[in-house]
Structure 1
């Protein structure tokens, strides 16, 4: 839920069904529509904070037009994605646009120290304008609840082992690794994998995962739920025995924090910002890339060892509760104040 002093505004630009690779053509229209809205409402903006590169391009235009500072958070960068998974559908101008935005923005807000390293190695030194603000989790929405109650709510048999994935059905998420890992689990007959995320038939990768499930003869062991509303995800996290994120790359992985807040141990790739959240052997396990055997081993360890599972569940909750939105939002607000103050002082000089 939004804070009492927050407002969500929908700004239109272009056709609703615009392909992803054509969204860059709507940047000027979108920024202009934002200007029209602010003028109509009589709003005075002190600072902009944009997320991802396309919104960053919009923020850059507005920052120049309004002569106010611009903070940007990239979340995932083109060069880190291509390094992790060379084949992709990123726009050809993305990495160049990201570099331009790093140069022109007043501050780059990142969520983990790993992002600082990635920017330094792949884009150049911007340490003078980078600030690390760890993320938070909505502890009112995501907290541990009774597993049997959650399973009853979702019509999941109580006696089954439940492995859960939440996220986009996208090659960067490494779902093929998870399906292969499931086939290697000795208790697979008593285990069900729930894949929560969009499942459009037009998605080529989704079709390939469905085919892999059939090939592995796991048709009755893998359930694709489709997209689930964010405020309904807590029931899935609570119903699960293990949460798995086998991504090739994640700048952070918010779903990991949400799962941990619900007391579900995590098995995840040792990539990107995930190691800053998952403590190997304490809140879950970190696995090398492209290694279904290792994923299968650690998933099975958690499914079979109830005492270990209970320990990791408690540690996961402790870790998640140290990442509150209150602490994160205060750090972000302090950063905004510093940037605005610095901008005013610069203009005075």
Structure 2
């Protein structure tokens, strides 16, 4: 089996899509499945693989972590002709994805797609709703009828695409590395590095952009009662276009670390007593699984993909996405009931232990094979 993957976001960019695709690439490598990845070139590239083909790119205005790529089509066609893929997987609907789509159609290669982000939902956060009809028409054209399978991470995303008239939808869930993200990590150096002295630590991890509901996060932090504020510390992990504004607004209320990866990110989760995540735009919510793996209960928005991860009253709480008082009430409840906090953390860890990346990717490969076999049957 030979897989050609087209994506407009990939490492070293830090977001849920790029991390998932990097893990997929690592899995294909371990399983010795031939693959080529067609991805943007970045000014900073700290990840190299002979499987990756890079092309010039610029940041996408709605989502800078996703790039508008300008592939050299002659070079790309030569590479694909030499590679001879059995299947094309398109992860993003922009220039590289469109290039892969055209090549697959022209050469009768079976194709699958994965749907990761509600880009049309982002428009309202940037006062560009006037583009919504055009974007919906384009997405409908892009995803309709071209793909053997469209992979989605959650029931919420499945329902959304079904409402748009899409078919051939299959689940591609997400996993978590419970060896990296786990509660028994020495966090003393981490606490010392960021000057964390408070008895309780509240954590938020995400790209710092409007669509992550940062306005509600800021209100939660500001409106916490003094009885909690005086014995707690907020930790905000991530970067993005809203960081400067948010950091200025919460200058005396939160520690901003920027992006963290690997051991440092695992230490952040292990340090926290609670993960507070008001983002209402998630198609899945990888960070929720990372918190659970670290035995950290999650208080999240009752909207989007995270609603399928957080078991209300069991592993955390779901709140009215835009009501700070709801989050504050749940935070107060858990701090006043430490045994409940501990029990929720243990349940979250047990749930995370069942979310194996290898099992998830094994199913994806089976879906790949099914798409290839289905095309072969048509021409038998």
- Which category describes the TM-score, using the shorter chain as reference length? 0.7 to 0.9
1:107 aligns with 2:149: yes
Unaligned residue ranges in structure 2 (runs of 5+):
1-22, 36-48
Specify which structure has the bigger relative contact order, considering alpha-carbon pairs within 8 angstroms and separated by 6 or more residues: 1
| Structure 2 Cα separation of the partners of residues 32 and 231 of structure 1 | 41
1:39-78 maps to which residues of 2 (within 5 A)? 39=81, 42-54=82-94, 55-78=96-119
The residue aligned with 1:139 is: 178
Q: Is the 8 A contact 1:31 1:62 kept in 2?
A: no
C-alpha displacement of 1:150 = 6.6
Query: Cα deviations across residues 22-77 of structure 1 (Å, max 9, x unaligned)?
Result: 999955626554434445xx423111222232253233123224421111112112
Question: 1:30 and 1:168, CA in 2 relative to 1: closer, same or farther beyond 3 A?
Answer: farther
1:194 aligns with 2:235: yes
Number of aligned pairs?
Answer: 331
Which TM-score applies when normalising by structure 2? 0.78
| Structure 2 Cα separation of the partners of residues 27 and 14 of structure 1 | 6
Question: 1:75 and 1:250, CA in 2 relative to 1: closer, same or farther beyond 3 A?
Answer: same
What CA RMSD, in Å, does the superposition of the two structures yield over aligned residues? 2.8
Q: Is the 8 A contact 1:80 1:118 kept in 2?
A: no
Matched residue SS, 2:334: helix
1:3-82 maps to which residues of 2 (within 5 A)? 3=27, 4=30, 5=32, 8=49, 9-14=51-56, 18-21=58-61, 27=69, 29=71, 32-39=74-81, 42-54=82-94, 55-82=96-123
C-alpha displacement of 1:241 = 0.8
| Structure 1 Cα separation of the partners of residues 179 and 72 of structure 2 | 34
Question: 1:181 and 1:27, CA in 2 relative to 1: closer, same or farther beyond 3 A?
Answer: closer
The residue aligned with 1:95 is: 136
Which TM-score applies when normalising by structure 1? 0.85
Question: 1:313 and 1:26, CA in 2 relative to 1: closer, same or farther beyond 3 A?
Answer: closer
Considering fraction of residues, name the structure with more helix.
1
| Structure 2 Cα separation of the partners of residues 59 and 77 of structure 1 | 21
Q: Is the 8 A contact 1:243 1:264 kept in 2?
A: yes
Q: Is the 8 A contact 1:30 1:58 kept in 2?
A: no
Query: Cα deviations across residues 185-208 of structure 1 (Å, max 9, x unaligned)?
Result: 221122221111115xxx3x3333
C-alpha displacement of 1:239 = 0.6
Q: Is the 8 A contact 1:56 1:72 kept in 2?
A: no
Q: Is the 8 A contact 2:180 2:262 kept in 1?
A: no
Considering fraction of residues, name the structure with more strand.
2
1:212 to 207, 224, 249: 249
The residue aligned with 2:15 is: none
Matched residue SS, 1:134: coil
1:148-159 maps to which residues of 2 (within 5 A)? 148-149=187-188, 151-152=190-191, 154-157=193-196, 159=198
